[in-house]
Amino acid sequence: MVQLRDGMWLPAEGVSTEYAEEVYDIAPLGDGQGLSLLCPVKQILRRGHALNTPTVTLDVKAEFDGIISLESTHWAGAQNNGPHFDLFPDGKPSSAQAKITESDDKGTTLSSGSLSATIDPAPHKFGIKFHSTDGTRQLTNLGSRSLGFAYTPAPSTPMQLGDMRDFRHYMFFQTNLSVGESIHGLGERFTAWNKVGQSVSLWNADGGTSSDQAYKNVPFWMSNRGYGVFVDNPGRVEYQIGSERATRVQTSIEGQRIKWYIIYGPSPKEVLKKYSILTGRPGKVPGWSFGLWLTTSFTTNYDEATVRSFLEGMKARDSPVDVFHYDCHWMKAFTWTDFVFDAERFPDPKGSIARLKEEGLCKKVCVWINPYIAQHGAVFKHAAERGYLLKRKNGDIFQWDLWQAGMGILDVTNPEARQWYADCLNRLFDMGVDSLKTDFGERIPSLDVQWHDPTADPHKMHNHYAFQYNQLVYETLQKRYGNDEAVLFARAATAGTQRFPLVWGGDCESTPEALAESIRGGLSMGMSGFAFWSCDIGGFEGSPPPWVYKRWVAMGLLCSHSRLHGSASYRVPWVVDDDDATEEGCSRTLAKWTSLKTRLMPYVYAQAIEAIDGGIPLSLRSLALEFPDDPTAWYIDRQFMVGSQILAAPVFEESGEVEFYLPKGKWTSYFTNEARTGPGWFREKHAFGTLPLYVRENTILVLGNRGQSGSVYDYTADAEVALYHVVPGAKTTVVDYDGKVVGELEVGSDGKLKDTSALKGHVQVSEGGRSLEGDAPVSIVAL
């Protein structure tokens, strides 16, 4: 972690830091879309001061409405090798016409639509303020000594820098952190959701959910003041967020230039919308992916008979499985990943998969893969001989015994290697595999490696590998099954990987604390532009006590995607509690929550389409995205929104007691139709079939027919439309099971639905909340 200062007054030991001290010259950029600022590291009070004085060049450019980029450079002759983030993948919008104004007293201002940057006019001073163009909102600023570069170790004379091999060079900037400002995002982070006070290093790592490491590092953060900042560098990015200096967010990278974008909303949803234009919108997922996923678990023993028994048991207990996942032991030990089913355990994989689908035991099948190729697998020699694996600088294949004995790593910069890997995947598709869990991809070496592409920077490849690997697999799925039928279950990610849904939260423990960690990770991921997120229901490591399993089931079935998965123990409900068949047992609890998500599918899929379009999370969605003017919402990290209209508060206590917050407005319990009025904190006690699940006022909630099973059915047939404190003009979108918009429902001036022609069959309209007829009794106690 880069630290520049030792307190307020001293430099950090062994670090030499140079700050831009004034804006010496302002010149227009060649394209007319911005300004180039020449910033010496000392004040130039007379001509002689320009000698032996380093400078920083800061290019400030209007990108499109509400976005300004800034690129700070020390030595412009340094190479800028890739990989680079794939920006504006759907095409760049028409650039905002840069408007440059000059004023003796206010300074020089560059405006990009709704966002402006104003350079301080005072002589011999460096300062830039970022604000709304209409002047109503001050966002942040680059103040005194906020931009520059640093060396470590500190050179004793500039002559030493003639040989840079013994020095590391960093670029940095520091935006102001205002009173009451909170910072969120930076990928899937399991520490406190508000990052103020934290030091964060963006470097993909396999560290589990109970650490400051992250599988998914995204150099984008959002402020509660209506703006976000994206750093255009896939390498390691270091942040000191109100930590090294309490009033600043410091960002640093190793290199000679740093480029970043400031994105103005003003709402957080608008910030994410613009960010998704910059880095890519989330891909669309098919309806079947929202159903219940079940895995074999990780190191557990299983074969074809085990798989069948699991699926038959789930169906018999009213929790039908939409997607069954074969984890790593579908291949033999020491051979991962060779794409070959273990013939002893699965003598007829193609026939077996076909029978599972034909008998209605699952709709789709997923298998576990990763980009690591074990030396003892069937494909290692083939890949090695053809140069498909990453090499060391001396020409050897890069191998280590971390994870798989003698494993190599797929070289995703080699077009032939990518095609070979795609061919391997297509052979799996020929067997009936529909989806792929792309595990690992975090431990990508950055030292002593040589990629096939000689211009690939090994340092930048470490994080960016997750993008390139998942892109390869996702596009292979798209070519086989269609653009909107491709589904990944990926662990590693970086900026842009939201285009290849979906991701899950990695290795968590089977504890209530880990459940809370997972929620924080999902909330942070949602603030980083990812629409779809899942977790290991029940926890991955260890064996969950029945009460933890059941509480996690409730939370997990309210995620956008829901998967039961463990490490050394199964996650089918009957093995967790010795097949307790009572209403409060694991099997009945899972059945209730699976049924609830099935009923919610018309709402869930309609919300998913909105999430894709807006680059916002479906679930877990922060309350702050829906209630940005509520200060409390920016500190809530134990509950979440499912789409825009439903609030969920998971339970973390064995007693069933839970404290939760409702923002301003009327909120109606999904389970009882009892209403509460926010803002305020409330306490309730819940049995295992419920949790605080509240529907927002002015909601038209379309629910599927009670008799449906699984996530794919005709959402428009025999539906119930529940009205929750609606007012004239309230609307909702109706989608079919392909996610296509088929109509709209609207409340008329009389408070009634105008028209239900978008639906067919028997349409039940329920006022004052949904019909509770046919529900099992619930036990909710207000405390």
pLDDT digits (tens, 9 = 90+) for 178-225: 999 999 999 999 999 999 999 999 999 999 999 999 999 999 999 999
Please report, for the domain that includes residue 18, its CATH number: 2.60.40.1760
pLDDT for the residue numbered 1: 64
Mean pLDDT of 729-738: 96
Q: Is residue 117 part of a domain?
A: yes
Contact 183, 249 (CB under 8 A): yes
Query: How is the beta sheet containing 128-132 ordered, strand by strand?
Result: 99-103, 107-112, 115-119, 128-132, 138-142
In tens, the pLDDT along 294-348 reads 999 999 999 999 999 999 999 999 999 999 999 999 999 999 999 999 999 999 9
Mean pLDDT of 491-503: 98
Q: Is residue 148 part of a domain?
A: yes
pLDDT for the residue numbered 60: 98
Integer CA distances (angstroms), 307 to 313, 341, 674, in order: 10, 14, 42
Q: Average pLDDT over the chain, rounded to whole? A: 97
Phi and psi at residue 381, to the nearest 5°: -60, -45
The CA angle 399-405-409, to the nearest 5 degrees, is: 40
Contact 39, 17 (CB under 8 A): no
Mean pLDDT of 273-287: 97
pLDDT for the residue numbered 750: 93
Q: What is the DSSP letter of 397?
A: B
In tens, the pLDDT along 670-699 reads 999 999 999 999 999 999 999 999 999 999
Query: At CB < 8 A and 24+ separation, what contacts does 338-343 make?
Result: 338/373, 338/374, 338/377, 338/378, 338/379, 338/380, 339/369, 339/378, 339/379, 339/424, 339/425, 339/427, 339/428, 340/377, 340/378, 341/431
Q: Is residue 134 part of a domain?
A: yes
In tens, the pLDDT along 608-652 reads 999 999 999 999 999 999 999 999 999 999 999 999 999 999 999
Q: Is residue 91 part of a domain?
A: no
Contact 661, 679 (CB under 8 A): yes
Catalytic option among 22, 232, 238, 439:
439
Mean pLDDT of 465-487: 98
484 carries an active-site annotation: no
Distance CA 144, CA 146 (A): 6
Catalytic option among 442, 457, 509, 541:
442
Distance CA 610, CA 126 (A): 42
Q: Which domain holds residue 38?
A: 14-76+97-158
Contact 118, 131 (CB under 8 A): yes
Q: Is residue 115 part of a domain?
A: yes
pLDDT for the residue numbered 94: 81
Q: Is residue 44 part of a domain?
A: yes
Contact 126, 39 (CB under 8 A): yes
pLDDT at 96 over 80: no
Q: What is the DSSP letter of 423?
A: H
Neighbouring residues of 482: CB distance < 8 A, sequence distance ≥ 6: none
Q: Is residue 31 part of a domain?
A: yes
SS3 content of the chain, % helix, strand, coil (to 5): 20, 30, 50
Provide the pairing of β-strand 640-642 with 646-648.
antiparallel
Catalytic option among 71, 232, 507, 684:
507
pLDDT for the residue numbered 219: 98
Q: Is residue 281 part of a domain?
A: no
Phi and psi at residue 34, to the nearest 5°: -175, -165
pLDDT for the residue numbered 104: 84
Of 718, 724, 719, the C-alpha closest to 700 is 724
206 carries an active-site annotation: no
In tens, the pLDDT along 134-169 reads 999 999 999 999 999 999 999 999 999 999 999 999
pLDDT for the residue numbered 517: 98
pLDDT at 712 over 80: yes
Number of domains the chain is built from: 1
pLDDT at 16 over 90: yes
The CA angle 211-215-216, to the nearest 5 degrees, is: 120
pLDDT at 95 over 80: no
439 carries an active-site annotation: yes
